Amino acid sequence: MHWLDWTVIGLYFCCIAGITLWCGMKLKNTADYFLAGRNAGFFLIGASIFSSNIGSEHVVGLAGSGASTGMAMAHWELHAWVLVLLAYIFVPFYYKSGVYTMPEYLERRFGSKARWILSIVSLVAYIFTKVSVTVYAGAMVFEALLPGTFGSPEAAFWIGAFATVILTGIYTVIGGMKAVIYTEAPQAILLILGSCFVSYYGLHMLGGWGELIEMAKPQAEQFALWRPLSDPDFPWLGVLIASPIIGIWYWCTDQYIVQRTLTAKNLTQARRGALFGGLLKVTPVLIFLIPGLIGWALHQKGLIHIPMKIAADGTSVINGDMVFPTLVSNLLPVGLRGLIVACLLAALMSSLASLFNSCATLFTVDIYEKLRPSKSQAHYVWAGRVATCVVVGLGILWIPVMKMVSSGGLYQYLQSVQGYLAPPICAVFVLGLFWKRINSYGAVWGMSVGFVAGMCKLCIQTFFGKDKIADPAFLAAVGDFNFLYATGVLLLISVVVIVATSLMTPAPAAEKTEGLTYGSFKDDEEVKSSWDKVNTTLACLIIALVGGMYLYFSFWL
């Protein structure tokens, strides 16, 4: 790192500090702290959705997946079409109800027990996925780019982990959601711009896009978008089952994402913001996954050297999670390297900031306020800040365990864990939205059974299976059961429990579903008027772009 690189990074942090202090002075109440005063426009909402989603685990982990498995993980990055569902179907329900959180919305449909369960499940999900993965990926960047700065690569890893958490925590605590929203807009631009530079310099060194295709053709089976049913990791049927389940849960029901739409000044802006986020979401395959493939090709030609690791079968393979940091350190000129490191920090900090504020909102509104009602707004903000610190600490403690689970790569680990958490929540929201007969008993039992089953699969997978503990054979088989098919099985279990329990118990009263199911809400005049020609155009453009990318990459090799 040259002094010019450090200067660029320093300027970035000065900008973040200035925005944070300005936002902190504007905070007046919990609506300001948790929902940015409900006054955001579509551009800020869409950019915030994109930046919140694209954390360092995407920049680092998705590039690693590109180098290791080619286009296999692209299905999860082509979820822009799910944001059309968010804008068209889900946002009106959330926004018009005036809620702060998804569990708060669920309470209106299914009662307080459902709200408690979803709040706890969401916080656990953040610890197992977003906190630990984001911090881990960001720390790996420090380990790769600054291996000797702090004495050893391992020291750089842990100093990077703690430094970014503390700095992000400070600006989130001071500025709340307003600081998160206003810092994530420029961070989204930096993320796209920085990754485009990496792709440009990488393709220039490699010899162009045609050279990449020619090098990848002999490895077509490894790098293909669609894999045969015999593929142990990404069979096409498993992808078709799991990807939509995870997508609907993450984009349409997760507090982490949906909270951004609730900051809008009106329903039209909320829906358009979700669509603008979907338009940005089309880009990750091109700006994060493709650089991973470029890194693999440069390594094969001997133009750069990517660190290796020992795979489970004892062979030496590319350490996919080191691909992007290696590209940054080898390809980019002085100054621009600092900009890209700032991009990586932006990715890390935007995800963490969003996470911190979402955790504070979930804990304060859905748990603490229920236990300690009638306290001042300042007291509830303080409680949220304390809860955030606890969640961050637990996430850091999970990092060593995560290394055992993530042998297939950081991004694959993320999707597998989300695949175990998503099914019961997805089932409850979708069934509850479209079928009035689903009641609180079904929702509570469905989420409880589904969540316990998913955690059992995660725990068994951590310790049992091939190259782990092989006895008893039943647990080893469960541990090795493909995570994509496991996601489908968990959804089926959750749906069966929800439907069966609901049908065996009394139907909910009509007033409990009025305005909370699609049939009772779709003819609302405000909802109709908020979907204009601009939104229709954006939705069609997103579908066309996703379809075009599927068509191209299905036959690109």
Phi, psi of 253, rounded to the nearest 5 degrees: -130, -10
Instruction: Categorize the per-residue pLDDT at 437 as very low, low, confident or very high, splitting at 50, 70 and 90.
Output: very high
pLDDT per residue over 237-263, tens digit each? 999 999 999 999 989 988 778 888 888
Do both 357 and 299 map to the same domain?
yes
Claim to verify: residue 161 and residue 216 sit in the same structural domain: yes
CA–CA dist 212, 206 (Å, integer): 7
Handedness of CA 35, 12, 399, 243 (dihedral sign): positive
Q: Are residues 432 and 496 in the same domain?
A: yes
CA distance 551 to 333: 35
Residues 261/95, Cβ–Cβ less than 8 Å: yes
DSSP conformational letter for 235: B
Q: Of 297-301, 412-416, 525-529, which one has max mean pLDDT?
A: 297-301
Closest CA to 380 of 367, 391, 390: 367
346 in a structural domain: yes
Same domain, 297 and 422: no
Distance CA 229, CA 234 (A): 8
Q: What CATH number does the domain containing 362 carry?
A: 1.20.1730.10
Q: How far is CA 523 from the centre of its chain?
A: 32
Q: What is the pLDDT of residue 56?
A: 62
Q: What is the mean pLDDT of the chain?
A: 82
Phi (first) and psi of residue 532, to 5 degrees: -100, -170
Domain boundary among 406, 433, 448: 406
pLDDT grade for 439, boundaries at 50, 70 and 90: very high
- Written as one string, the DSSP assignment of 322-376 is GHHHHHHHHHPPTTHHHHHHHHHHHHHHHHHHHHHHHHHHIIIIIIIHHHSTT--
Q: Are residues 466 and 446 in the same domain?
A: yes
In a domain, 148, yes or no: yes
**290 lies in the same domain as 201:** yes
Same domain for 368 and 438, yes or no, is: no
Is 381 part of any domain?
Answer: yes
Q: Are residues 378 and 461 in the same domain?
A: no
pLDDT band for 145, please (50, 70, 90 cuts): low
Share of the chain above pLDDT 70, in %: 85
Q: What is the mean pLDDT of residues 531-555?
A: 94
Is 124 found in the same domain as 42?
Answer: yes
C-alpha separations of 180 from 19, 346, 461, 552 in Å: 9, 11, 35, 36
* 311 domain residue, yes or no: yes
Cα maximum dimension of the chain: 69
- How does pLDDT run across 174-193, given as a tens digit for each residue? 766 666 677 777 777 777 88
Establish if 334 belongs to a structural domain: yes
Structural domain count of the chain: 2
Q: What is the pLDDT of residues 273-289, one digit of tens each?
A: 999 999 999 988 888 88
Same domain (yes/no): 14, 138: yes
Q: State the residue range of the domain holding 213.
A: 3-73+118-224+284-406
First to last CA, the chain: 37
- For residue 352, give the amino acid letter: L
Is residue 325 domain-shared with residue 434, that is, in the same domain?
no
β-partners of residue 469 are 464
Structural contact between residues 122 and 444, judged by C-beta atoms closer than 8 angstroms: no
Instruction: Please tell me which of 25-29, 149-153, 441-445 the model is most confident about, judged by mean pLDDT.
Output: 441-445
Q: Please indicate, yes or no, if residue 451 is contained in any of the structural domains.
A: yes
